[in-house]
């Protein structure tokens, strides 16, 4: 089997979202999330602000500020109950959707704790950076064992969620320094390489994320080093090794890496 066929075979194993058991979550007139049965039961019991209606569960809020307050209160209660883990004390922006379901970046609705997004099945935004060398090697990181999500798995050179008020390029430059020690002068040379969407069922809710992909060519003698404790180490992998280890990467990182290999015609 060729390397390209192996990459395509791995892409065919990427999980897909199954919604048969999920309930649509409507906020401010928009379908913004997916709720699991345990979450529906918890919310309906927790507050009368959550109402079961024909279209699913509806949050009875009139403004973004009110929605954020009610959802944060519910999320804290779910954290106490063990339904939300990995509380980050970091805010993500909830965006109004376009007709095709993509986020409208010009229409922020409210901000909410990052750790609550999967439990509410809401769309989040993230950046992933492929760090590559002229000799056709990719730098792959290994997530620290202390990470709340996918500890110990392999990842891209750098990746991370976009905080409220942050744009994709600024986020990429920040993550490159924090996770891989890439100085701003070099990190600013990142090249935007399109977007991917990763949507799947997870044990802690629904993962729904737009992945802003970037490529960064690194000097042959550059060695990445972590600065924030979130990455255990890095390895430079050849194309055959990269392909053979796709299953060791997180689902999102594998998707971004496979996309890079195909776009660059490295396989």
Burial (0-12, 13-18, 19+ Cβ within 10 Å), 12 = exposed
- φ, ψ of residue 41 to 5 degrees: the values are -60, -45
Q: Which residues pair with 31 in a beta bridge?
A: 26
pLDDT band of residue 148 (cuts 50, 70, 90) is confident
Average pLDDT over residues 229-237: 91
Residue 86: its pLDDT value, please?
Answer: 82
Reported confidence tier of residue 55, pLDDT bands at 50, 70, 90: confident
Q: φ and ψ at 104, to 5 degrees?
A: -95, 100
Nearest to 136 by CA among 54, 32, 51, 243: 243
Read off the pLDDT of residues 175-226 as tens digits, 9 standing for 90 and up: 999 999 999 999 999 999 999 999 999 999 999 999 999 999 999 999 999 9
Q: What is the rounded CA–CA span in Å between residue 252 and residue 236? A: 19
Closest CA to 94 of 110, 118, 74, 73: 110
CA–CA separation, 28 and 58 (whole Å) = 9
- What's the pLDDT band for 6 if we cut at 50, 70, 90? very high
Q: What is the pLDDT of residue 85?
A: 87
> Residue 229 above 90 pLDDT?
no
Matching residue, tokens 């209160």:
73
pTM equals 0.94
Neighbours of 148 (CB within 10 A): 11
Identify the structural domains of the chain with CATH numbers, from first to last: 3-13+125-263 (3.90.79.10), 23-122 (3.30.750.160)
E runs forming strands in 98-220: 103-113, 123-132, 137-143, 154-155, 158-161, 191-202, 205-217
pLDDT of the residue at 228: 86
Query: Residue 213: which of 266, 139, 156 has the closest Cα?
Result: 156
What average pLDDT does the structure give for the chain? 95
Task: Tell me the backbone φ, ψ of residue 226, rounded to 5 degrees.
Answer: -75, 145
Tokens 């809710």 belong to: 205
Structure confidence at residue 38 (pLDDT) = 97
Tokens 């039961």 belong to: 41
Q: DSSP 3-state assignment of 27?
A: strand
């Amino acid at each position: 089997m060729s390397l390209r066929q192996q990459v395509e075979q791995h892409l065919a194993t990427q999980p897909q979202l199954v919604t048969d058991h999920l309930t649509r979550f409507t906020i401010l007139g928009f379908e913004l999330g997916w709720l699991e049965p345990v979450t529906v039961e918890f919310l309906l019991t927790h507050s009368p602000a959550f109402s079961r209606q024909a279209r699913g569960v509806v949050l009875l809020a009139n403004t973004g500020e009110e929605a954020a307050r009610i959802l944060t209160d519910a999320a804290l209660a779910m954290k106490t109950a063990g339904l939300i883990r990995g509380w980050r004390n970091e805010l993500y922006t909830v965006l109004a959707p376009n007709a095709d379901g993509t986020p409208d970046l010009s229409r922020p609705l409210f901000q909410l704790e990052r750790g609550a997004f999967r439990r509410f099945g809401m769309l989040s935004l993230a950046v992933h950076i492929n760090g590559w060398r002229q000799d056709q090697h990719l730098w792959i990181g290994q997530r620290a064992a202390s990470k709340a999500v996918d500890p110990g798995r392999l990842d891209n050179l750098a990746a991370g969620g976009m905080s409220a008020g942050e744009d994709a390029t600024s986020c990429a430059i920040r993550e490159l320094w924090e996770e891989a020690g890439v100085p701003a002068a070099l990190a600013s040379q990142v090249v935007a390489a399109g977007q991917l969407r990763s949507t799947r069922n997870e044990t802690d809710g629904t993962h729904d994320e737009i992945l802003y992909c970037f490529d960064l060519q690194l000097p042959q003698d550059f060695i990445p080093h972590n600065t924030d404790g979130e990455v255990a180490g890095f390895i430079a992998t050849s194309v055959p090794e990269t392909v053979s280890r796709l299953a060791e990467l997180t689902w999102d990182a594998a998707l971004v890496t496979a996309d890079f290999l195909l776009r660059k015609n490295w396989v």
